[in-house]
Amino acid sequence: MKQVGVVDIAREAGVSTATVSRVLNGAESVTGATREHVLEVVARLGYTPNAFAASLRKGRNDAIGIAVASISQPWHVKLIRELRRAIREQGFTTIVYDLEHSESVLIEHTESARRLRLAGMVLATGDRIDGDEVRAALDRMAGTVPLVVIGQELPGAGWTTVAFDDVAASEQAILELLGRRPKPVLFLGEAASSYLSEERRIGVERALSQFPDLLAGSELVALDAGMDFSVGYREVQARAGALARFGTIFCVNDELALGACRALSELGVRVPEDMMVIGYGDVDMLPYLTPSLSSLSGDVGGVAERVVRALLARIEGGHVDVGPKLQRKIVHRESTGG
């Protein structure tokens, strides 16, 4: 069964394919009566234009890619929602890519973006993108697809960056928590593969360096095993005997913090009385946990807005000043004493 095309519609409606195309693309010039008639035929024959033919002819694709490190992480899902909303307001469609924290998947997606001649691409990941292969793939993609990266700045990159000031956020949070309880900190971060962890660790160190004795007692862990609940759980369990020396567990994301809390509860360590716990991202579920979890929150809608503004500027061949890094704020809940 052959699908119906413009020519079928044109023949049936007694007009040219040009007129059909004009009606379907909302051209002003078509007479009311003609328009009605064509639309009636389109509906009757159940015609849907072939997107490939249209894009090929137009020489452009109105889709913008949204690539996130992992759709398993609620923060990224929130970001996707906000970006979609902002992008659709500008008349573009979106296509979501899940990187699954994998370099090879990212590289594949850059190729897909090129093949599809995407109008633009947004990349949000805390994983490093400065490895040789990844960097080359991104540079290659950015050559034809305007790119905006969320979260990390690379020297000499051919794209725009929108980011939170995580160094400052971490520093300030640690100072505030040390004010509540001046004891060493256990920082659960990720190894060299994570740009975000690096930034956040630097902030923590910066704050602690004001108190050399506390810094000496602190432990800044660099994990290699991903960042989910199980890892937070395992790392705290592994330090069961040494927990008394810490006053705060500072986690590079909310999932780690959740896992850490579970381990503490099993070990009989009370939160926040014996240990404060805080995460990063301020995901929706945090108020509903027991204890409810404190976190460093950031304005996702604000990020989306900036990203889209920057992307549109790039698409139109210009640049735009995205302004200073965005600020985070600390949200206290039970896990830091409310």
Partner DNA sequence: CTGAAAGCGCTTACAG
For binding to a copy of itself (CB under 8 A), which residues are involved?
3, 46, 48-53, 55-56, 61, 71-72, 74, 77, 80-81, 84, 93, 95-96, 98, 100, 111-112, 114-117, 140, 143-144, 228-230, 232-233, 255, 258-259, 261-262, 265, 284-285, 287-290, 292
Residue 7 binds DNA, judged by CB under 7 A: yes
* Cβ distance to DNA smaller for residue 36 or 284: 36
Q: From the CB of 39, what's the least distance to DNA, in Å?
A: 13
* Cβ distance to DNA smaller for residue 38 or 264: 38
Tokens of 222: 């660099």
Residue 39 binds DNA, judged by CB under 7 A: no
Q: Is 268 left (phi over 0), alpha (psi -120 to 50) or beta?
A: left
Give the strand pairing for 329-331 and 93-98: unpaired
* Cβ distance to DNA smaller for residue 57 or 273: 57
Task: Characterize 198-217 residue by residue with b for buried, 16 or more Cβ atoms within 10 angstroms of its Cβ, and e for exposed.
Answer: bbbbebbbbbbeebeebbeb
**Could you write out the three-class secondary structure of 123-188?**
EECCECCCCHHHHHHHHHHHCCCCEEEECCCCCCCCCEEECECHHHHHHHHHHHHHHHCCCCEEEE
* Cβ distance to DNA smaller for residue 27 or 105: 27
Q: How far is CA 178 from the centre of its chain?
A: 30
Site string for DNA, 45-84 (x = CB under 7 A): --x-xx--xx-xxxx-------------------------
* Nearest alpha carbon to residue 162 among 171, 170, 152: 152
Instruction: Restricting to residues 8-37, name those near DNA by CB under 7 A.
Output: 14-22, 24-25, 28-31, 34
Could you give the CA distance from residue 54 to residue 227 in angstroms, rounded to a whole number? 43
* Cβ distance to DNA smaller for residue 38 or 214: 38
Distances (CA, A) of 289 to 281, 285, 300: 15, 7, 22
Residue 170 CB: number of other CB atoms within 10 A?
26
Partner from a copy of itself, DNA, none contacting 21, C-beta within 5 to 8 A by type: DNA
Partner from a copy of itself, DNA, none contacting 175, C-beta within 5 to 8 A by type: none
Q: Can you give the binding site for DNA, defined by CB under 7 A?
A: 2-3, 5-7, 14-22, 24-25, 28-31, 34, 47, 49-50, 53-54, 56-59
